Structure 1
Amino acid sequence: MKKIFPVLFMLFCLNSFAQTKAEITGKWTIVKVYKIDLATPEELQQVDGFIANNWAMEFREDGVMVASPGNASQVTTWEFDEKTKKMILKSQGKSLPVEILSYQPNTMRINMSLEGRTAEFGMQKK
């Protein structure tokens, strides 16, 4: 048991969740698209090629989030629930829950759900 505990602890730390809003605050770039519901492997590869390293999200301390797909930008608001460790993006009367699947200081993997469809992205802090 003494040998297993450090390994389990290390695995937990590698997949630890963001603890505070301050850890999420900043500019993040989508670097990998892992999953999009109902997408074929070929469609997923095309979307990954289009989105990865071209889309960014800036989470500001004041609750504003600026999404920059390519050269465009979209402004919305965001909240971070420190109890559940989940984000909520709000735009045009809709809420988009964002689950943080894994977090390290400069990388995170998120799962977004909207209208019954989900997408999973890898992000890197800039």
Structure 2
Amino acid sequence: MKSKIIYCLNFLWTSFIAFSFPICFGWIFLDITGHSKGYSYDLGSEKDVSIMLGCIELLIWLALSFPSNIYVFRKTLSKGKAYLLIPIVLYITLAVICVMITHGGWTSYAKEVFNI
């Protein structure tokens, strides 16, 4: 019973990480590339600080996401290879839902993050 509760909590955390992935990716990407205040604004001497902040944010995000992802995927894989598709599809679905809800679609997301 205890292992099921731990699995459920890790699955919920992984779902939250999957949903927030596009937001975190955009934020970290813009910081690391030095465009944290947008593409039309020149950071100048603040660019080094933005890049360092982006690296720290990336490390924090990886530390928060990888342990639960590894736990969920490993436990699900032990049930069978066919069951491994469930968390993968759920991860992708939640990320797509986040892009649709928060950014209004792929074109808006690409314009905001990648300046396309």
Query: Could you tell me the TM-score, scaled by structure 2's length?
Result: 0.25
Query: Could you tell me the TM-score, scaled by structure 1's length?
Result: 0.24
Q: Which structure has greater strand proportion?
A: 1
Whichever of the two has the greater Rg, that structure is 2
Q: Which structure has greater helix proportion?
A: 2
